[in-house]
Amino acid sequence: MSLISASGSRTLALAGLSGLALLTGCGSSGGSGSSSTPAASTPAASTPAAATSTPAAASGGAVAITYKDYSIDPAQVTVKAGTKITWTSKDATVHNVVFKDGDPEKFTSKDLKQGQSATFTPTKPGVYKYLCTFHAASMQGTLTVTG
């Protein structure tokens, strides 16, 4: 009293096995999917790091630079003359901002404790190279000012 022929029942059995294989595959890929998820998020996490080394541009207004984890973010900034630059320390240690000799203008900030900021508004175009004198090996930046 079967409505399915012999060949039809083989087709159903194969379809059932295929579905089981897909479910098993999903279970496996779910496990590898979760282990590939961190790999997929790793490049996303490295993208901002790459962006921090890319020059940031400002057309006026203000630019914020952060001192955190003994590094500068962004480390390279390009702005127009007259743009206010603010450095803020997010570290528990003391930092400062000191322009190097030969820069178009001189600037030395006070020592910055965590949460404190220093500001400078360049008026002369040129390249300003600066550093934190407490952590010069890892904390150097470049401010490029256009006319």
Residue pLDDT, tens place only, 112-134? 999 999 999 999 999 999 999 99
Q: Which residue shows structure tokens 């630019």?
A: 63
115: Cα within 13 Å, side-chain hemisphere? 0
- Which CATH class, in words, describes the domain spanning 56-146? mainly beta
| Amino acid identity for residue 102 in this structure | G
Please say if the pLDDT value at position 16 is more than 90: no
For the stretch 92-102, pLDDT in tens is 999 999 999 99
Read off the DSSP letter of residue 102: T
100: nearest Cα among 126, 119, 82: 126
pTM of the model: 0.62
CA distances to 9, 64, 98, 107, 131 from 101, rounded to whole Å, are 87, 23, 9, 10, 11
How far is the first Cα of the chain from the last one, in angstroms, to the nearest whole number?
92
Residue 104 has pLDDT above 60, yes or no: yes
Residue among 59, 58, 91 nearest 76 (CA): 58
In the chain, where the domains are located: 1-49, 56-146
